[in-house]
Amino acid sequence: MVTVRALAVAVLAAAAGIACRGTPPGSQSAAGLVDSLVPAVERAAGMRFRTPPRVAMRSRAQVRAYLSAKLDDELPAARAAGMETAYQLFGLLPDSVHLRPLLLDLLSEQVIGYYDADSAMLFGVAGSPRDQLRLVMAHEMVHALQGQYLPLDSIFHDLRSNDRLTAAQAVLEGQATVASIGIYSPDTGRTAGDDFWSLYGDQVREQQAAMPVFSRAPLVVREGLIFPYVAGAEFMHWWATASGHADTLPYGPRMPASTEQVLHPDRYARGDAPLDVVIDTGGIVLHEDVLGEMETRVLLAVSRGSNRPDELPAVGWGGDRYRVITTPEGPALVWYIVFDDEASADRFVRLAAGGLGRASRPGYRASLDRVTVGGKPAVRHVVAPASWTGWSRVPAASLREPGPYSPTSFPSQNAPNPKTPPST
């Protein structure tokens, strides 16, 4: 998922389908608006503010300048180039699309309010409709609460696995989304079931599709924006109603370790930890990361000409890793994905063969092969120049020995695990 990592951006999609209560006209200040929301936000989130939230208003020009600076800091040119090349070779991003300007336009279009973890400040966008601003600020106030209990900077600057980072973001955005629903539609918040969340996801997609920049963005970018709000909210609803941990929050050592755990809470509950796939050395590495189940679903959807990865069956994902290698002939992509069982690997090949088995770039070839990694069923996907000498010695993969894991003890950031509802 490609986003500004340390910036928790609230988009209107976070409130799709919720009837927002009107705010009487008047000259209520930003600070007054936030102060009036504190009791409701604390009740909905199950945490108290240790210090009062601070807030200021910014013009759209100031917000765009802020986003541009954040992108410079968190998506430097070398990383952006590596990500672009990887997604282009996967077929997820056209060669003509560049991530940084796309993300700047996309986020500038979306933002109504945001929480900046660096300054621990809430910001609203001047000129936004009062009801929308009130709704979004309630969402962002949950992020301000999270910032008082979690090391958000450490979480969002951990770049070892994009998939794990996306899972963490899903918890944070999911909690804020569920809390917002609880504030503005208490009855819905208490009774929402699977049907509600399915409808909610459809409404988010429909609403976002009406936004010009979002509507023309590649699917991997659109789903990367939507996933934390929709799948994260479903996970947090499961946590509160079915996990047996409703008196706590999935913070610190309880944070999900993969988007698979967010998508399939039953696997989280039984301690199904992601496998750590390691690719052997070979060539100059331009970029390396993990797709995870969420982006693997996007990849499958694109390869099949679909815009709804959420409608695909479970992948049976066990772990993966891709690497982009610099070669004299052009960049080469090597991707290994390990599956839970043989049936999942076979199904993946059947679903993906039509799209991933051929290269769309002139002078390139692609392969999609069943292999074994660490004794487990796997698939290797390679996209590289046809003249690449590495075709005869593609880097192999292995599994790194996993550390101890359970839903309550896998290694993560150390943080308190609060859930003490404030008195009413």
Both 58 and 151 in a single domain? yes
Mean pLDDT of 157-185: 87
Q: Is residue 48 part of a domain?
A: yes
**Do 123 and 234 share a domain, yes or no?**
yes
Between strands 54-58 and 121-125, the pairing is parallel
Together in a domain, 197 and 293: no
Q: Is residue 333 part of a domain?
A: yes
In angstroms, rounded to a whole number, what is the distance separating the alpha carbons of residues 183 and 176?
10
How far apart CA 423 and CA 39 sit, in angstroms, is: 9
Q: 192 and 94 in one domain?
A: yes
**pLDDT tens-digit readout, 254-309:** 899 999 999 999 999 999 999 999 999 878 999 999 999 999 999 999 998 888 99
Tell me whether residue 256 is in a domain: no
Residues 214 and 132 in one domain: yes
* Overall domain count for the chain: 2
| Residue 207 sits in the same domain as residue 325 | no
pLDDT top residue among 151 and 336: 336
Q: End of a domain among 234, 250, 266?
A: 250
Claim to verify: residue 332 and residue 368 sit in the same structural domain: yes
Residues 224, 80, single domain; the answer is: yes
- 262 domain residue, yes or no: no
284 and 185 in a common domain? no
Sign of the C-alpha dihedral computed for residues 174, 221, 115 and 130 taken in this order = negative
**197 and 161 in one domain?**
yes
Q: What's the rounded Cα separation, in Å, for the pair 228 and 175?
A: 10
- Say whether both 33 and 160 belong to one domain: yes
201 shares a domain with 145: yes
Evaluate whether residue 261 is within a structural domain.
Answer: no
- Would residue 188 count as lying in a domain? yes
Examine residue 169 and state whether it is found in any structural domain, yes or no: yes
Domain hosting 387: range is 276-400
Give the dihedral sign, CA 121/125/131/132: negative
Residues 282 and 323 sit within 8 Å (Cβ to Cβ):
no
pTM of the model: 0.88
221-234 pLDDT tens trace: 999 999 999 999 99
Q: What is the pLDDT of residues 85-133, one digit of tens each?
A: 999 999 999 999 999 999 999 988 888 899 998 889 999 999 888 888 8
Is 151 a domain residue?
yes
Token pair listed for 329: 């002939």
CA distance 166 to 247: 24
Q: Model confidence at 158, in pLDDT bands (50, 70, 90)?
A: low
